[in-house]
Structure 1
Amino acid sequence: MKPSDLRAELQALRDFSARIGADLLLTQAAGGNTSLKEGDTLWIKASGTWLAHARERDIMVPVQMAPLLDAVANAQPEAEQAQLFVLTDQNPSGLRPSIETTVHALMPHRVVAHVHCVDTIALAVREDAMPILQDRLCGSNWAYVPYRRPGLPLALGIAEHRRDRPDVIILGNHGLVIGAETVADAAALLSQVKQLLKQDARPAPAGDEGALSKLAGNNYRLPADAAAHAVAMDTGSTAIAIGGSLYPDHVIFLGMGSVAATAGETADDVVARLGMAPVEILFPGKGVLMRRDATAGADAMARCLADVTARVPEGAPLRYLTSEENLELTDWDAEKYRQNLDAIASSAIRDVS
């Protein structure tokens, strides 16, 4: 391929990525990733970067696929360290590839997009998801992969379906992966699947920000997005949220599960009762408060929690992440790296403002 053709394709990928990143029902904060294969090189979104910034920032990293896939095939520890396979001479920013690099490398498609689609997650957390998915995706070449930790375990789960070459993969308790041969085809497929899996959201009244401000004390604040209040303004959503962690990025940016205040409690009361300060506190009937140092990623995931829970029917059988699965995420170096980048970026935003 001519260098000019590759530049044009990468620009198309950046445009596609930015459109995905601007849609809160598809991606939130640094979640989700896109990629393009050219020969043995995989261009993939960098860890900790936002798809929404794809047009104005350099967020794509070139990775050499052959040695990475060899490490996966031989179950070598390096398979979990995609940064070891970066083509450094083409990565002047020194970015680190996505924690899902192995997922993209193992997909046979030339263009791959992994998104945390809210409508998909609202189905993928349900224990009765399969018959619904079979009905909604009838006629599509799709597969379902039960929850596995992001990174190599998830990649190996996807690899089990390589022979069938599914274009659509539903990830239990996680999200959606689609593959195509061109950026345009990937965009069209993603739009189609999003529509097929669309869920109706329960309406909720606006949060009572006046009452919340009186409960915040010195260490808590209102959320960046008022839509985040909905999780505490609908009893069904609140019950779902406090049941536990439903997907990985919730654990990474908001902590394990969700915390709800009891009647009459202030934010300080909740902290005293728990002996720790949750990133987000739900005040049923009033809304939510965020810890004052909560990052931009945490605010985005607070909105995501409201969006997901509103789309899960009350009484639906749910599959929450286990204690072991929660710990796998919080103790993983790759996720600590993402948390650190999120904290640095949020600090820079606070300094400017």
Structure 2
Amino acid sequence: MTGFRNDRAAAEFAALRALSARVGADPLLVQAAGGNTSLKDDGVLWIKASGTWLMHAGRDDIFVPVKMPPLLQAVADLDPAAEKAEAFVVADLNPLGLRPSIETTVHALMPQRVVVHVHCVETISLAVRSDAETVVGERLRGLDWVFVPYCRPGLPLARAIAERRGRETNVLVLGNHGLVVAADTVAETEDLLARVCDLLARTPRPAPQADTDALLRLAAGSNYRLPASPEAHAAASDPASCQIAAGGTLYPDHVIFLGEGSVVAAPGETAQAVVHRLAAEGRDAPMSILFPGKGVLMRNDANAGAEALARCLADVTARIDEHASLHYLGAADAHQLLNWDAEKYRQELTRRMEAARQ
């Protein structure tokens, strides 16, 4: 990769790619095409491309160079062009024609040279609580951090961050969304990420083993199958997790890859019966179905992104106190996400990646 002013900057970029691959390979930090990382150098922001997977950073060119000064001016002017940031890409250094991450404005507004944004399940499980700012504050005491209530990812979130962060703020906890850490070197950023995740970590609630025999019987004659990840079953086999999931949508990527909320089967209902019930209500066949006390079934055409988010639901809900008051995303939030061009683009790239594998 060319375009860096010196060998030191190029070495930092290589370190960022290595960190991105490590982070992206950890399902407790990043799921599917979620999360993004960046490096600023000589007025250019190198940001993960929309729809690409961080875990592939070591083998693929997944970063896009974006000119910082005009992008920041567009944010200040509330220019809609800042939302996609495509107008600010350094075309000569983007031979693949990649599109900047939907979070490009967030990275640009952080003054630190290196920024890492993850959908850490430890963070999300606290950030969905109604008292998130208080409980997180107890764990991150002594750090320069801020809590940002849920906003649609992209420019609205960037504006909310700009209003709340201080000059030295290097940790952002995003309501119903995830975690951002920033520092001036890749090594410092990785150390900060590890420290914050350790401070927010809790032991997940143990879940009963999935009843796969029962699930296969419930899937008979339907367009459903067992999930790729056995860990996904815990969202349904554990009663507390299932009840939490049934309450609604907890974070944006759930909407994007699994649909709004979680579909829970009634006692005795088969997968086919669930589909018929929803069809009578004018609803599509769900990407996943939770069978309380048994486990989860996935639609046959569920892609890698949906599979990753099915496991994420289990990982997040297992860490939520069953007695906590939670803030779920509303129908308007889901509608915003599902009809947002940036997310449609990200989903299309996921479909293309699946097709290429077959």
Q: Where on the TM-score scale, by shorter chain, does this alignment land: which range?
A: over 0.9
2:51 aligned residue (40, 48, 53)? 48
1:231 and 2:235 are equivalent in the alignment: yes
Shift of 1:163: 3.5
In structure 2, the residue matched to 1:141 is 144
SS of 1:14's partner is helix
CA distance in 2, matches of 1:90, 1:135: 44
Given the alignment of the two structures, is residue 267 of structure 1 paired with residue 271 of structure 2, yes or no? Answer: yes
Cα deviation per residue 1:141-170 (whole Å; 9 max; x = unaligned)?
000100000000000011113443311010
Partner of 2:163: 160
Q: 2:174 aligns with which of 165, 168, 171?
A: 171
Q: Following superposition of structure 1 onto structure 2, how do residues 1-353 of structure 1 map, counting pairs within 5 Å?
A: 2-216=5-219, 217-275=221-279, 276-349=284-357, 351=358
How far off is 1:2 after superposition?
A: 4.2
Q: Secondary structure at the match of 1:36?
A: strand
Distance 1:172 1:208 in 2: 34
Q: Which moved more, 1:304-313 or 1:209-218?
A: 209-218
Do the aligned residues in 1 keep the contact of 2:232 with 2:296 (CA within 8 Å)? yes
Q: Compared with structure 1, are the counterparts of its residues 162 and 131 closer, same or farther at alpha carbon in structure 2 (3 Å cutoff)?
A: closer
Scaled by the length of structure 2, what TM-score is found?
0.96
Deviation at 1:206, TM superposition (A): 2.1
Q: Supply the AA of the counterpart residue of 1:293.
A: D
Counterpart code for 2:287: V
Cα pair 1:205 1:230 within 8 Å, conserved: yes
Shifted more, 292-301 versus 81-90: the winner is 81-90
| Unpaired stretches in structure 2, ≥5 consecutive residues | none
C-alpha separation between the residues in 2 aligned to 1:129 and 1:20?
Answer: 24
Q: Is the 8 A contact 1:108 1:162 kept in 2?
A: no
Whether the 8 Å contact between 1:116 and 1:175 is mirrored in structure 2 is: yes
Q: Using the alignment, how far apart are the partners of 1:163 and 1:244 within structure 2?
A: 33
Structure 2 counterpart SS, 1:164? coil
Across the aligned residues of Structure 1 and Structure 2, the Cα RMSD in angstroms comes to 1.1
Matched letter for residue 206 of structure 1: Q
1:212–1:288 contact (8 Å) kept in structure 2: yes
Could you tell me the percent identity over the aligned residues? Answer: 61
Per-residue CA distance 1:40-64 (angstroms, 9 max, x = gap)? 1000001111111110111111011
Counting matched residue pairs gives: 350
Distance across 2 between alignment mates of 1:2 and 1:281: 51
Whether the 8 Å contact between 2:222 and 2:271 is mirrored in structure 1 is no
Contact 1:246 1:320 in 2 (8 A): yes
Deviations 1:302-332 (A, max 9, x none): 0000000000011210000011111110110
> Could you tell me which amino acid in structure 1 is paired with residue 278 of structure 2?
L
